[in-house]
Amino acid sequence: MEINSKTKLFGLIGHPVEHSLSPLIHNYAFKSLNLNYVYTVFDVFPEKLEDAVKGIKALGIKGVNVTIPHKEKIIKYLDVVSEEALKIGAVNTLVNEEGILKGYNTDVYGFIDSLTEVGEKIKGKKAVVLGAGGASKAVCVALALEKINEIVIANRNVEKAKELSEYIKREFKVSCNYCSINEVEKIPEMDILVNTTSVGMYPNVEDSPVCEKVVSRAKFVYDVIYNPFETVFLKYAKRNGIKYSNGLSMLVNQANYSFKLWTGGFFDKNLVYRRLKEGIT
């Protein structure tokens, strides 16, 4: 479909944004459904966030994804914020309804779906989550909402792990402990091990947040990283015959929930996965 005067505009605000895969996902999905919509990226510096929000309203941009570093700070500029986004303290999707800007968080449901996709159940299990930043928060909230039995947050900066674990305990009444990432070796077994740190991400593809021995004690391993598709962390899982999955599914599933908020329906995930695999490798 050609861009014309009826084209509706969508986009991503963040900093930096130039390596984002969201334009590829959404434009492909719009095209596959013959929608006269287009998705682009806006590199917004932190001090320009309030102006950017005003710009979204003034220009009538229909829907926006929000990424690092704006997910938390944007909340104060919005007209309406969904209950779960408020609880998580982060917004990744905006819907512009006739000038009223509404904020949602689709990361949490994106993560839940990516475990469901591979048949991994969460209820009653024990998870170890590596990292204590924004991605860790979304993963921990998802695990808590799905009634996990116990979470251990392991981070290089132990103070951050402590803060997040206290937040999860307080808000979701779930058993949540914390330790230094160097201490995960002492944990004898776990059902689910999730890496939310940036260790192993391109260009540092030889790194892993923990050693093979730790990975071998898990029954299911998830890495939020998707570049590369198979991190060293996931290679350890593969070598030990452990079920594993990469961050592409979280990326696609969170995008699909945003897409539903904007268009009223989901896109065909399999088509999008195929397109991404062609596009990245």
The site for ligand ATR (CB under 6 A) is made up of 68, 131-136, 155-157, 160, 181, 196-199, 209
Neighbours of 104 (CB within 10 A): 22
Catalytic residue among 71, 125, 126, 137: 71
Tokens 């939020």 locate to: 224
**Least distance (Å) between residue 67 CB and ligand ATR:** 9
Measured from the CB atom, the residue of 37 and 178 that comes closer to ligand ATR is 178
Closest CA to 130 of 182, 94, 91: 182
Report the alpha-carbon distance of residue 176 to residue 197 in Å, rounded. 18
Q: Which residue is nearest to ligand ATR (CB)?
A: 133
Neighbours of 222 (CB within 10 A): 29
Measured from the CB atom, the residue of 70 and 102 that comes closer to ligand ATR is 70
**Least distance (Å) between residue 93 CB and ligand ATR:** 16
Q: Which two tokens stand for residue 197?
A: 């740190």
**Least distance (Å) between residue 69 CB and ligand ATR:** 9
Measured from the CB atom, the residue of 103 and 131 that comes closer to ligand ATR is 131
Measured from the CB atom, the residue of 198 and 240 that comes closer to ligand ATR is 198
Cβ-count burial 42-70 (b if 16+ within 10 Å, e if not): bebeeeebeebbeebeeeebbbbbbbebb
Annotated catalytic, 137? Answer: no
The catalytic residue positions are 71
